[in-house]
Chain A
């Protein structure tokens, strides 16, 4: 039961809302916005945390725990199966190669880094596709329909989108793993902290949860070129700039593929942003979120 409703997410380092990441996000918010009490007060106000949109986020999270366990997991092709299938296929097509001997420390570092980088890249493209394909947008708009943001909004994602991202993960991780086994053999491994890829861990720790919040933390321009700041993702949640900043952690994909928007490029940065969709009165109902994408309009 504990697992079923997603409560284990708070104690699992591979999850976004792991308690430590929430605590560190809070610390960072306090650190940078101590002088701007209004911003902090706003985030913790009833209007934000008990808004119908936020209440849907919480309900959604609880229900999705069950949906994922009972419906999605059995449907997903496992990453292990993909990796195994691919390594056998690569070897059969390209033949045997003499193993490249690399010091274990470099092998693990390389594999950990490649997993992070390529997963971040495929996330970028799938996210972008969720916006550019009108069919996929139907599902992704569930996430964008949130009018207020809090860390749980991260889980406000339609099951179909979850499924697509699951396949994306399996394919990306499976391919990287297969290639590493093919060229380097059994010495590979992931450097993990609390069960999360070490690089992912670091980025989660430095405020990933502020992405879904009203805390306008942004980085200097030269950093926002490389790393998506929380504010840059908040911009993505506005109707006006939703075609920018698709990135999860690295900003380079947005930069290279022309969808990057810097926080400083906006003249009215001090104004609070307005999140959500324009075209309709949001219902913030669970049933609506699950079923509307199958028959409702698709305008942004």
Chain B
């Protein structure tokens, strides 16, 4: 090789080597900035506090609420009163609310593959068409054999089963009292079995959050997981939990039916929607503790975080104006305009999560580059 060729090759090599340093994929959204985290002074404290004040705390509340109900059913005997049934229903609401919070921010699956499916052992909403949890439970109640054997379906041990057990088809307490006492308090025994399963699953989640160190050590992954779960949660909230019942989705176009609501038996669907949005607020909103909102905000995504916060507040304020359960706002012939309004608002929230993600990809750079060639 001639000296000139050698020199040229050498310079080319240097150029190439120099370039590899500047390898990145960051931008201006929720996730992008985080890419450069290791080299910057950004603190992961907000992620640590998010994990303890939101993820772990909600999972712990779920475990505790299950234990509270467990204690109550343990003390029940044949002298069961309507008042006690009412208390069971209150216990159920506390469990369901805590569960919605855990579910709406469930990022465990991204860090621990053995826990990917855990939510499916708790909640059977929207899991398979043919599923009729109430009918399955009725079958179990009408049998006389061993309860664990009768409860052969996982779906009969989930939170939807618990709802039906505590509320029937939203039946009067007097009716429920009779049903509970039937067959040697078999309904109470089934409740115990369901609670046992729920506690096992909830404890798995709580234990993970409490002991985990991966969430704070891989903030890039955590950020993606959080945006994913919030966008998914917003989608499911509007499409599954509102849209399907209100007849807004393609599948049930213009044929509303309140029985498609998630907590139709207990008439608690509105409370659960509120719980989901409150979780979004816990993760993204302005809080006394650091969270993902403050983390993203201090990493350059302030504008989009502000938009998300405003949208969450707007949704919360609108939900607070609902005076009756959601089940009363949707009939087979009409849908309250407020339901439409909230559906659209959650749609905006979901698109903001996607927007934050898309912005972080920094795709606009070469748009106007003349590439006719």
Neighbour of B2 across the interface among A34, A96, A186, A193, CB < 8 A: A34
Known: A14-B365, A80-B359, A189-B361. A99 touches B372 (CB 8 A): no
CB-based contact B16/A205 at 8 Å: yes
CB-based contact B35/A104 at 8 Å: no
Q: Which of A114-159 contact B (CB under 8 A)?
A: 123, 127, 130, 140, 143, 154-155, 157
| A92 contacts chain B at the CB level, 8 A cutoff | yes
Known: A24-B12, A84-B355. A165 touches B363 (CB 8 A): no
CB-based contact B366/A162 at 8 Å: no
Q: Give chain A residues whose Cβ lies under 8 Å from the Cβ of B370.
A: 64, 154-155, 157, 161-162, 165
| B239 contacts chain A at the CB level, 8 A cutoff | yes
Q: Give chain A residues whose Cβ lies under 8 Å from the Cβ of B362.
A: 190, 192, 195
| A79 contacts chain B at the CB level, 8 A cutoff | yes
Tell me the complex Cα distance, A123–B357, Å.
Answer: 26
Tell me the complex Cα distance, A83–B240, Å.
Answer: 23
CB-based contact A211/B228 at 8 Å: no
B120 CB to closest chain A CB (Å) equals: 11
How many A residues face the partner with a CB closer than 8 A?
67
Known: A193-B20, A193-B23. A83 touches B373 (CB 8 A): no
Tell me the complex Cα distance, A96–B232, Å.
Answer: 8
Tell me the complex Cα distance, A169–B366, Å.
Answer: 9
Q: Give chain B residues whose Cβ lies under 8 Å from the Cβ of A211.
A: 373
Neighbour of B22 across the interface among A15, A92, A99, A193, CB < 8 A: A193
CB-based contact A189/B35 at 8 Å: yes
CB-based contact B228/A123 at 8 Å: no
How many B residues face the partner with a CB closer than 8 A?
56
| A49 contacts chain B at the CB level, 8 A cutoff | no
| B236 contacts chain A at the CB level, 8 A cutoff | yes
| A278 contacts chain B at the CB level, 8 A cutoff | no
Neighbour of B372 across the interface among A76, A96, A143, A181, CB < 8 A: A143
| A263 contacts chain B at the CB level, 8 A cutoff | no
Neighbour of B358 across the interface among A80, A91, A185, CB < 8 A: A80
Q: Give chain A residues whose Cβ lies under 8 Å from the Cβ of B232.
A: 96, 99
CB-based contact A186/B371 at 8 Å: no
Tell me the complex Cα distance, A190–B372, Å.
Answer: 23
CB-based contact A248/B371 at 8 Å: yes
CB-based contact B364/A186 at 8 Å: no
Which partner residue on chain B sits nearest A248 by CB separation? B373
Tell me the complex Cα distance, A125–B244, Å.
Answer: 41
| A31 contacts chain B at the CB level, 8 A cutoff | yes
Tell me the complex Cα distance, A190–B236, Å.
Answer: 28
Neighbour of B354 across the interface among A73, A84, A198, A201, CB < 8 A: A84
CB-based contact A177/B361 at 8 Å: yes
A215 CB to closest chain B CB (Å) equals: 14
A208 CB to closest chain B CB (Å) equals: 9
Known: A31-B8, A79-B367. A191 touches B25 (CB 8 A): yes
CB-based contact B365/A88 at 8 Å: no
Q: Give chain B residues whose Cβ lies under 8 Å from the Cβ of A68.
A: 368
CB-based contact B364/A99 at 8 Å: no
**Interface SS majority for chain B:** helix
CB-based contact A83/B358 at 8 Å: yes
Q: Which of A217-248 contact B (CB under 8 A)?
A: 233, 248
Most buried by B among A34, A123, A177, A190: A190
CB-based contact B367/A169 at 8 Å: yes
Most buried by A among B227, B239, B365: B365
| Per-position binary interface string of chain B over residues 1-40, scored 1 when its CB falls under 8 Å from any chain A CB and 0 otherwise | 0101100110110011001101111000001100100000
B4 CB to closest chain A CB (Å) equals: 6
Neighbour of A177 across the interface among B15, B16, B20, B358, CB < 8 A: B358
Which partner residue on chain A sits nearest B240 by CB separation? A96
Q: Give chain B residues whose Cβ lies under 8 Å from the Cβ of A96.
A: 232, 235-236, 239-240
B58 CB to closest chain A CB (Å) equals: 21
Tell me the complex Cα distance, A24–B11, Å.
Answer: 9
Q: Which of A94-116 contact B (CB under 8 A)?
A: 95-96, 99, 101, 104, 108
| A27 contacts chain B at the CB level, 8 A cutoff | yes
Known: A76-B368, A130-B372, A189-B35. A27 touches B224 (CB 8 A): no
Given contacts A15-B366, A189-B361, list 5 more A-B pairs with CB under 8 A.
A80-B358, A108-B25, A143-B373, A190-B361, A233-B373
Ranked nearest first, the 8 interchain pairs of A and B with the lowest CB-CB distance are A189-B25, A186-B227, A186-B224, A157-B372, A185-B228, A157-B370, A187-B224, A14-B366
Ordered by A's residue number, 9 sampled pairs between the chains whose C-beta atoms are within 8 Å are A14-B369, A80-B363, A127-B372, A165-B370, A173-B363, A181-B354, A186-B224, A193-B23, A194-B19
Instruction: Report B's interface with A, CB cutoff 8 A.
Output: 2, 4-5, 8-9, 11-12, 15-16, 19-20, 22-25, 31-32, 35, 110, 220-221, 223-225, 227-228, 231-232, 235-236, 239-240, 249-250, 347, 350-351, 354-355, 357-373
